[in-house]
A and B are shown apart, each in its own frame.
Chain A
Amino acid sequence: MSGLTNGGRPDQAAPVAPAIELKGISKAFGPVQANKDISIRVMPGTIHGIIGENGAGKSTLMSILYGFYKADAGEIFIHGKKTEIPDSQAAIAAGIGMVFQHFKLVENFTVLENVILGAEDGPLLRPSLAKARGVLKQLAAEYELNVDPDALIQNLSVGHQQRVEILKSLYRQADILILDEPTGVLTPAEADHLFRILDNLRREGKTIILITHKLREIMEITDTVSVMRRGEMTATVKTSETDPPHLAELMVGRKVLLRVDKKPATPGKNVLEVRNLRVVDDKGVERLKGIDLTVRAGEIVGIAGVSGNGQSELLEVLGGYADGTGEIIMNGESLDLTGKHSDGQSRRARGIAHVPEDRQREGLIMDYFAWENAAFGYHRDPRFRSGILTNNRAMIEDTERKIKKFDVRPPNPYLTAKNFSGGNQQKIVVAREIERDPDLLLVGQPTRGVDIGAIEFIHQQIVALRDEGKAILLVSVELDEILSLSDRIAVMFDGKIMGERLPDETDQKELGLLMAGIEGDPDKPLIEAVDEQLHAKEAREAKKNG
């Protein structure tokens, strides 16, 4: 593999200067090193992919290039000329256009108004609008970028909104275009159209940087690709000289396979029975489409799935803070799914404990002390009460006990939650929920943003709870975690359970297909299947959203 690593020169010396050259860019946010000594060369008229996992530092790098952040160190060269980019204005002046993941459009403005915003020709709008109308027509013909210039943004589909963003850049005569995860919100048809547009742009000599985590897109359209991992640029290679498995390996590094020591499960009676559970969200979209699920005492049921397929809604309705229809039976008794007796308090009273997916938003009050958080949700418990007042002493002692047992560091109940690391925050939540001796524990993404040491500890605690004969419903997007913890695996796709498997009788590949909504055809490569599934889902959502 003739890979080029950190700032290496291309094999054949280019006669033209690179459109973009970054040299030794570093950027830290507090103790987090988001970008570490990054160098990259992008030749004009090419599409350069940047691939990496979430949090690898791709977006930070591009924000530096667009003047949103100032790099701590390093230099930027545009077409061979050293360029300072202190703000977006400088970036625009240097011919750089950016299409953000979250569009920067004014919703109740027309397309034309959005296009000319900041690039008007004079103090009056009329001439600018007239000119833009002409330019847009021309661009539409040239690059297949058709949008109704008089439509309001809020009435456009996501795909069209994205075209407006591209048009904005082209109208500003950008010759370097950065797209940040552009297909994340598109239907397959829209994505194909986008790639045609990008191809047209390349043909006209524009330089494009495509940030993505989808390997298929890299293979399909880019000329060169750089891989980022943990703030570092690990490799830059020609796309034609690499393949998806190699890129995947570069992306994630050596994958740590999680293994948890556990005895075989001895499942008992049914603790949780879910029948035909449906949830419709505020926008009227059906998120759960008839879930049937059983969790027995003494077993861990893992819910696998690509995030956004209804797992969050399942946890929310079980946890009592989303309304649903259907039936949830807990220890043989039916639960209310709407109304007064359908809230977190009444669920806890029925023996359901819940480690939520997002501990900072839901599981903890970040400004509360550890001892206050350790009672959160159970603050109405009789033992935390003396008369009409709360028994803070009891809460603090209880917290001290939990801190000791779960090895929370620092072991200080008087620290606010925001002063603990992610792992220790999660330990507080897990301790709180497990120590309540629940019949059923709901666990969402238990190890997201948690360090390796704490992951192991939390996994052990979950298994120990199972061995005590409790029922556990685990939701995780980490397939490794699902495979190593679960006694039974249910795969969710598009608000439905695609199927159940036993961990010993399945593998990542089969689960991946189920997660993609495909129940067979094991010959198809996993990556393609998953991508296809994503597209199918997005297509459906786009249709729903009009």
Chain B
Amino acid sequence: MDLMTILQVLDSTVRLATPLLLACLAGLFSERAGIFDIGLEGKMLAAAFFSAAVASLTGSVWMGLLAGMAASLVLSGIHGLASITFRGNQLISGVAINFLAAGMTVLVAQDWFSQGGRTPSLMGGGRFEGITLPLAETLRDVPVLGPIYYELISGHSILVYVAFLTVPLSWWILFRTRFGLRLRAVGENPAAVDTAGVSVIGLRFAAVAICGVLCGIAGAYLATGLQAGFVKDMTAGRGYIALAALIFAKWRPWYALYSCLLFGLLQAVALRYQNIELGGLVIPVQFMDALPYILTVVILAGFVGKAIPPRAGGEPYVKER
């Protein structure tokens, strides 16, 4: 394997990790506030469709991004209504949201575009194009570092950089601001927040809304950055991989980055190579596909480093003495 191949694999790792990372951080905000969210997949899917659809109709990818976030926020609102206001089962609500998105996107796509549940291919301003960072062209010929800068670091769409910047930002919000302190507290012991005179419901809705915005960006990136348009079920389980990454990351922003990069790498390798030979042992591509899930089960089983979710996660808050 030469440097170029490695760089190409890593480059596609970054691209594939981006939606995972955004969704994973989305889940992180929600679950840190005590709201389990297995509806990441659905929110991403809805955002992917509406961003592509609006981008295609208006010709502006930015309008598309806004539409994607709005669609995702609507689903977040439903999740909040079910799990916060009506104290319903958060897992069942998440399942419902995934189906709602899977159905509605195709339904609306068919109604708007009549192309069998897809949007027209996006062109020009309807897509997020890669950004060539300053000096990328100039430095291209510098040995080793030049190609790394040009191939790997430069040339991604703006949302990729947004995603990676969201990591330190999330960390900063969660661990350095008043809002973050309260948000983490509400996921650990909502009674502490309530008796301190802060609204548990308000905080949880805020967390769920952030989750919606981030899932919206993730979906928009899928349809307008990674690919050029929406196709049916285009999230293809990414929401669940993000969920796996979140557990793998033990609900921490920096770990989320690493686990998403790892899972992105697995996807990139699986995309490029059908089977990998390791000294006579052939690793089938399907194993690479399944690896994120297998790793997550191993973590969940507690055999390697127990993942402890936020203590109040999944439980609706009921006031008591």
Contacts and interface: CB of A to CB of B under 8 A. Distances in A.
A126 B181 CA distance: 11
Interface in B290-321: 311, 319, 321
A342 B183 CA distance: 45
Nearest to A115: B196
A106 B185 contact: yes
A105 interface: yes
Interface string A92-127: 110000101000111111000110111110111110
A59 interface: yes
Nearest to A91: B197
Interface in A58-92: 59-60, 63, 66, 68, 87-89, 91-92
A106 B179 contact: no
A327 to B, nearest CB: 36
Contacts of A236: none
A88 B185 contact: no
A120 B185 CA distance: 13
B5 interface: no
A7 to B, nearest CB: 24
Interface in A252-303: none
A359 interface: no
B196 A88 contact: yes
Interface in B169-220: 175-182, 184-185, 188-189, 191-198
Nearest to A59: B321
Contacts of A93: 197
Nearest to B176: A125
Nearest to A90: B197
Contacts of A206: none
Nearest to B186: A106
Contacts of A117: 181-182, 185, 192-193, 196, 198
Contacts of B195: 66, 88, 98, 100, 104
Q: Which of A59, A104, A107, A117 has the most CB of B within 10 A?
A: A117
B242 to A, nearest CB: 24
A109 B174 CA distance: 13
Contacts of B185: 106, 109, 117
B192 A89 contact: no
Contacts of B189: 104-107
A89 B197 contact: yes
A222 interface: no
A386 B185 CA distance: 55
A124 B174 CA distance: 11
B177 A118 contact: no
Given A117-B196, A123-B179, A124-B178, A107 B191 contact: no
A128 interface: yes
B194 A108 contact: no
Contact of B178 (A98, A100, A114, A128): A128
A118 B182 CA distance: 7
Interface string B233-247: 000000000000000
Contacts of B193: 117-118
A156 to B, nearest CB: 15
A125 B321 contact: no
Contacts of B177: 123-125
A199 B5 CA distance: 75
Contacts of A89: 197-198
Contacts of B192: 104-106, 114, 117
B181 A168 contact: no
Interface in A310-360: none
B197 A87 contact: yes
A122 B178 contact: yes
A106 B311 CA distance: 10
Contacts of A98: 195
B26 to A, nearest CB: 22
Contact of A118 (B176, B188, B197): B197
Nearest to B195: A104
A289 to B, nearest CB: 32
A119 B321 contact: no
A106 B321 contact: no
A123 B321 contact: no
A92 B194 CA distance: 12
A125 B188 contact: no
B55 to A, nearest CB: 34
B173 to A, nearest CB: 10
A124 B178 CA distance: 6
A121 to B, nearest CB: 9
A87 B199 CA distance: 10
Contacts of A168: 196
Contacts of B191: 104
Nearest to B188: A106
A109 B186 CA distance: 12
A88 B194 contact: yes
A113 B181 contact: yes
A91 B184 CA distance: 24
A88 B193 CA distance: 10
A108 to B, nearest CB: 6
Contacts of A113: 181
A120 B188 CA distance: 18
A109 B188 contact: yes
Contacts of B197: 87-89, 91-93, 118
B185 to A, nearest CB: 5
A125 B311 contact: no
B184 to A, nearest CB: 8
Contacts of A68: 319, 321
Interface in A362-394: none
A105 B195 CA distance: 10
Contacts of A87: 197
B47 to A, nearest CB: 28
B200 to A, nearest CB: 11
A128 B181 CA distance: 12
A207 to B, nearest CB: 19
Q: Which of B181, B182, B184, B193 has the most CB of A within 10 A?
A: B181
Nearest to B194: A88
A68 B194 CA distance: 9
Nearest to B187: A106
A118 B198 contact: yes
Contacts of B311: 107
A108 B193 CA distance: 14
A108 B181 CA distance: 12
A117 B184 CA distance: 11
B192 to A, nearest CB: 4
A392 to B, nearest CB: 31
Q: Which of A91, A104, A107, A113 has the most CB of B within 10 A?
A: A104
A120 B321 contact: no
B190 to A, nearest CB: 9
Contacts of B184: 106, 109
A125 B181 contact: yes
Contacts of B180: 125
A268 B69 CA distance: 80
A135 to B, nearest CB: 16
Interface string A470-509: 0000000000000000000000000000000000000000
A109 to B, nearest CB: 7
A119 B181 contact: no
Nearest to A98: B195
A119 B196 contact: yes
B176 A126 contact: yes
A88 B190 CA distance: 13
Given A106-B185, A120-B181, 12 more contacts: A68-B321, A93-B197, A107-B188, A107-B311, A109-B188, A117-B185, A119-B196, A123-B177, A125-B176, A125-B178, A125-B180, A128-B178
Sorted nearest first, the 6 A-B pairs with minimum C-beta distance are A118-B196, A89-B197, A120-B178, A104-B192, A104-B195, A118-B198
5 contacts: A104-B189, A105-B189, A117-B182, A124-B177, A125-B175
